Amino acid sequence: MAEVQLADIEKSYGDVHVVRRLNLQVAAGEFLVLVGASGCGKSTTLRMVAGLESITRGELRIGGRLVNDVAPRDRDIAMVFQSYALYPHMTVYDNMAFGLTLRKVPKAEIAERVQAAAAMLGLGDLLARKPAALSGGQRQRVAMGRAVVRQPAVFLFDEPLSNLDAKLRVQMRLEIAKLHKRLNATILYVTHDQVEAMTLADRIAVMHEGVLQQCAAPQTVYNAPANTYVATFIGSPAMNLLPVRTEWQGDQLRLRGSGLDLRAAAPADAPAEMVVGVRPQDWRRAPAGAAAHARLRVEVTEPLGAETNVFGALTAQDPVAATDPTTRQRLASATIWRTDPADLVRDGDEVDLQVTRLHLFDAAGQRWPADGDVGVLS
């Protein structure tokens, strides 16, 4: 295993900037997941690490060695692709052994490595089969096995589970997590799936339009998103974003707008115009006789068995001109409340809600305060 360092990495195709000033450090043995929507630059970043894409600017180091101009085969990395990239005319054994054969590794050592990897990944009974006789999950395990036998310093995974159905994705997430624990390997993993990112990563790096938005442990990204993009990308259903105006009333900060009215404990330098973020599970029905922070007109209910998602609109919408156009476009048009199935809610109901936890962002969409939380008072 080896450390990977990306320092001011940029990638451009003519005037099109795909990756901008990316700085990341993947510690030896760390599992770091690059996540973002399609076109955010995550796969291009991985391909630059692999040597499959040139670097426009910046420095890339693997194990402390500058590798900008080093050929892919000499970077001591192994890559697992979305498409498996197996040779259809070869057996599982031959596919796994192919890279070692090219490097003229002795046959006895090849056999030992292949058998060990096959045992680790549950492929022992499949070594004589060809890819056409394998399921999607088995093919992906063969692709992983081919990487494992290389014994690389760094593993690269490029959306390896995208072609699998939902049940197989869950199984393969478990396999990849087990593989990381067994090998204590350095892994750089790309996905657009936030569930993969949250369940697999030691740290998540969220990218948007070629720019790194936040890099932190999964729970930190979820509980303290750096901006409104991260807040709505991580978490399903997405966080509710509500533009408000602020007003000091004694030592309490009143947040009012978009159908929301509540008071919070906050630093004294709060901006006059802000965005309140509320995750769907951080609403609750207001107890009888208690003050409500908002009233939700229910439009659609989505029963999921263990929970129910309630979609609707907050009534008494107040006009707020606070946010810049980019942030305003990202504001949710519908409010989402996640509740217990025992809380019977029907389409057309009007429900008084309280906020149990909130997030604050300035008008440009950046977390405020950057290094702390804001408590709900009343």
pLDDT digits (tens, 9 = 90+) for 335-370: 899 999 888 889 989 999 999 999 999 999 999 987
Q: State residue 126 phi and psi, 5-degree precision.
A: -115, 5
Domain 4-230, CATH number (from 3.40.50.720, 3.40.190.10, 3.40.50.10310, 3.40.50.300) = 3.40.50.300
Joined tokens for residue 286 = 């207001």
Q: Distance of CA 308 to CAs 278, 304, 305, 349, 376, Å?
A: 17, 5, 7, 15, 24
Q: How many CA atoms lie within 13 A of 370 on its CB side?
A: 3
Residue 276 identity: V
Neighbour-count burial of 123, counting CB atoms closer than 10 A to its CB (0-12 exposed, 13-18 middle, 19+ buried): buried
The residues with which 277 forms a beta bridge, in sequence order, are 241, 359
Determine the Cα–Cα distance for residues 259 and 314; give it in Å rounded to an integer.
5
pLDDT tens digits for range 79-137: 988 887 889 999 999 999 998 998 899 999 999 999 999 988 888 899 999 999 998 88
Determine the Cα–Cα distance for residues 163 and 81; give it in Å rounded to an integer.
11
Residue 328: pLDDT above 70? Answer: no
pTM listed for this prediction:
0.88
- Rounded percentage of the chain residues whose pLDDT exceeds 90: 64
First and final CA of the chain: distance in angstroms?
51
The domain spans of the chain are 4-230, 236-376
Radius of gyration of the chain (CA): 25
